[in-house]
Amino acid sequence: MILSALLTSVGINLALCLVYFTLYSILRKQPGNVVVYEPRWVAEEKSQKRSFFNLERLLASPSWVGRAWKLSEEELLSISGLDAVVFMRIFIFSLKVFTFAGIIGVFILLPINFVGNQLSIDFSDLTNKSLDSFSISNVDDGSNWLWFHFSAVYIFTAFVCYLLYTEYDYISSKRIACFYASKPQPHQFTVLVRSIPVSSGSSVTESVESFFTEYHSSTYLSHSVVRQTGKIQRLLVSMEALFFYFLFCWETVDFLTLLSVANVVMISQRDAEKWYKRLVKLKATNRTHKRFGRDGFLGLFGRKVDLLDHYGKKLQDKEDNVRMEQSSAVEKPLTVRNPPSTLENLAPNPRNPSFHPRRHLSHSRRPPPATLAARTPAPAGPPPFTPDAFNPVNPYHLAHPDSTQCPATTAAHCPASGNPRRPSPSLRRPSPPVASLRRPLWVRTKVLFHLSLEPIHQHPEVPAAFVSFKSRYGAAAAVHIEQGVNPIEWVTELAPEPHDVHWPFFSASFLRRWICKIMVIIACIVLTVLFLIPVVIVQGLTNLDQLETWFPFLSSLLSITFVSEVITGYLPSLILQMFQRFVPPVMIMLSSVQGYNALSQIQKSACFKYLWFTIWNIFFANVLSGSALYQVNVFLEPKEIPLVLAEAVPAQASFFIAYVVTSGWTSTGSELFRLFPLISSFMQKKFAGKDDDDFEVPSVPYHGQIPKIVFFGLLGVTYFFLAPLILPFLLVYYCLGYIVFRNQLLNVYAPKFETGGTFWPIVHGSMIFSLVLMHIIAIGIFGLKELPLASIFCVPLPFLTLLFHDYCQKRFLPIFKAYPAECLIKKDHDDQNDPSMPEFLDKLVTAYRDPALMPINYSGRSDGHDSLLQHAAEV
């Protein structure tokens, strides 16, 4: 790529960024766009509604930049959790790394590259020359100037390793501090047990009760067996489809509403309330001629009926069927005979040999008639677990039992700190019940897939259960100790947060999960191979001579200077980015069928897949596709890999600079502008009759953003000494991303789960891989440049880096896998003085329940006679 083509690409993307930023500064002030640009504050009912006209709305202003910049880390921790803090620490870490690299690369290495004589340079026609003139390729072979590049590799490696260690240490200490500051959470006391063996004549409930009573008698509290609820979920889907069909018949041509049937799976209390308001609004429009219609296909055929009465009766019948199925599937409750008044002796104490309290629970197999009658009005089981003692999404605010005294780690977001900027208790409304959690599209598709495979018979128990313990240490001991003689039975793992549970895959056996993992691996390989097609197209566009050979009839068009610059400089990276947008949803879908029990685990798995997919398909495929040597040498002669990479990687420097500008700058601007949510909001208001109360707060797309940030880091590390011209463009991207995503975390995204910063090990491992790749290329490039001594001295670098990585894995990684016994026991001892713990343990019994078994009120009936539709008809 010539310099003028790169400048054209930079100019186009810079103009797009300015347009995005300007439009955002104007559109965010418009009252109709508040659900697009401030959905989080609207959901919290803290957004100020501006109904009067103000000329200031039409003027672009950068005030949002100041608010995003002033957001402290403690405030970010309080509103979005530790995952958001780690996400922003990736930007901070990258800025530190590439600021240091930019100083060395731009001010030392770049002038050395440019004054070299290896490539002929005509300074009078510099814009039409290749960017190779600014790379190490222009340095003379055997030149002593190459020792500057050698020294830069060693210095940069040491600096990055130092930053990796300090950042790993900081985040791990932050993780421990947040654990100490958090209130009791259900997942801290609960273990997920799978592959439960069941003897003939007994049930899963009896097996779990017997096993944990015998082997964990001192710490076992209760359990909740998972059940197959496919029939209930099918009924719920049919109810929702019927409801939307009624809306279609009522509004005639509401295609958006009809299409949304495919995006919904579970009925929720929040949905029922929303639809009730929708019906009231429809009736308030006084369209009496719409009251009657035909009950056939699309309202065009069949007999003429009263739509409200007709579909109201159908909904009532289906709701009765759902309640009946829920009643038959609901698990018999655990009754607490003598709940402990204090927590003494609940935490393990090595100095207390009498730490074996008796269980206070008994399993009520057949409740007496009076108890059963008392449960008749709410046959769906006990109410959902919503204690006030903790926030199920972000437990790091108001964590100390004494609300007037806060730990040092949470002082900035505690009410006692007097922070006037934001309401400190929480920036979210109280978390809805588990049944009201709207699942993403990939989860809903996954649910429908499993419903089609699940047996129709009467709600059998699944050999899996959530087992709760009286202490965190008791739960941790059950996870880390093999429970049975057969290692594929009584498989235990830490339970996810109640609202983070991924329910559809619990009925899968060990063999089925193993087969699904193999199928996912094969699918990832197939996807990687198919993605080579756009890579070949992109590489063809970057080479005008090859493009003219393929399409001779384009020769006259390609002779136009601006057209050729756009095709070679801007179009290839744009095409690659368009194809790449489809990869994260596919990775999420593949990860969802691997048997993970939590949505957070699915996102981490998709993040890992997408990262290595990007490294292979965007980096290696583009680099090696321009070299014919890789087809033989790379796979048949592994010792030639450094030479092949040293020859191929510098040649693609210009392409990756354009890729950073297009996929980095412009995509960050589009993230701020939110074009697709803006269009979707407009279409739904215009054609579907939705208002500002009908929206959902999005969650942070970690699985799509973290791989992109890390991949840009790989490009910067790799090209640091090869083509340092890429470093200023990377710094601009990281600066834009730092400001934009702080703004998005503050106003747009709300956390749906909390992993405790466990995304950082992925970032650490990818940075180590980038350093090792840089070392391998350095060994090859110094060999090609006829400086064998420098090549030999670079050989120890990858081994030293891997030793450093191994030390960090042993030093910090165990903290991210599980909390140490020291922290668990100390936290259990602290809870002994917490008067809310007995109530918490009582509610822990019902914390984990399938959303399909939660109570529903689809028709809005309280006494069994008045339906939602009839009520709407009376308004």
Q: What is the pLDDT of residue 155?
A: 97
Name the pLDDT band for 825 (thresholds 50, 70, 90): very high
Range of lowest pLDDT (39-43, 497-501, 692-696): 692-696
In a domain, 74, yes or no: yes
Across 295-318, average pLDDT: 62
With 90 as the cut, is the pLDDT of residue 738 above it? yes
Can you give 376-432 as a three-state secondary structure string?
CCCCCCCCCCCCCCCCCCCCCCCCCCCCCCCCHHHHHHCHHHCCCCCCCCCCCCCCC
What is d(CA 162, CA 154) in angstroms, rounded to the nearest whole number? 12
In a domain, 390, yes or no: no
Q: What is the pLDDT of residue 296?
A: 57
In a domain, 169, yes or no: yes
With 80 as the cut, is the pLDDT of residue 760 above it? yes
Across 532-553, average pLDDT: 74
Segment 765-796, tens digit of pLDDT: 999 999 999 999 999 999 998 899 999 999 99
In a domain, 424, yes or no: no
**Candidate ranges 49-58, 237-246, 845-854; pick with highest mean pLDDT:** 845-854
DSSP state of 130: B
Element housing 491 (H / E) = strand 491-494
With 60 as the cut, is the pLDDT of residue 333 above it? no
Which is more confidently placed, 497 or 559?
Answer: 497
Q: Say how many C-beta atoms besides its own lie within 10 A of residue 432's C-beta.
A: 16
Which is more confidently placed, 225 or 315?
Answer: 225
Name the pLDDT band for 419 (thresholds 50, 70, 90): very low
With 50 as the cut, is the pLDDT of residue 348 above it? no
Across 673-680, average pLDDT: 89
Percentage of residues in the chain with pLDDT exceeding 90? Answer: 37
Segment 108-146, tens digit of pLDDT: 999 998 887 766 555 444 444 567 788 898 888 888 999
Name the pLDDT band for 637 (thresholds 50, 70, 90): low
Name the pLDDT band for 98 (thresholds 50, 70, 90): very high
Which is more confidently placed, 568 or 859?
Answer: 568
Across 375-384, average pLDDT: 39
Which is more confidently placed, 854 or 529?
Answer: 529
Name the pLDDT band for 561 (thresholds 50, 70, 90): confident
In a domain, 874, yes or no: no
Structural domain range at position 773 = 3-122+147-177+513-794
Report the Cα 366 to chain-centroid distance in Å.
43
Name the pLDDT band for 201 (thresholds 50, 70, 90): confident
Q: What is the pLDDT of residue 277?
A: 56
Sheet holding 220-227, edge to edge: 220-227, 461-469, 190-194, 491-494
In a domain, 462, yes or no: no
Name the pLDDT band for 423 (thresholds 50, 70, 90): very low
Are the C-beta atoms of residues 133 and 119 closer than 8 Å to each other? yes
Q: What is the pLDDT of residue 56?
A: 72
What is d(CA 80, CA 2) in angstroms, rounded to the nearest whole number? 44
Across 403-416, average pLDDT: 37
Backbone angles phi, psi at 515, to 5 degrees: -65, -40
Q: What is the pLDDT of residue 634?
A: 53
Across 734-757, average pLDDT: 93
Q: What is the CA radius of gyration of the chain?
A: 30
Segment 142-168, tens digit of pLDDT: 889 999 999 999 999 999 999 999 999
With 60 as the cut, is the pLDDT of residue 257 above it? no
Are the C-beta atoms of residues 462 and 204 closer than 8 Å to each other? yes
Task: Tell me the CA end-to-end span of the chain in Å, nearest whole number.
Answer: 68
In a domain, 73, yes or no: yes
Q: What is the pLDDT of residue 211?
A: 93
Range of lowest pLDDT (49-58, 195-204, 207-216): 49-58
Question: How many structural domains are present in the chain?
Answer: 1
In a domain, 214, yes or no: no
In 3D, which of 653, 656, 548, 562 has the Cα closest to residue 5? 562
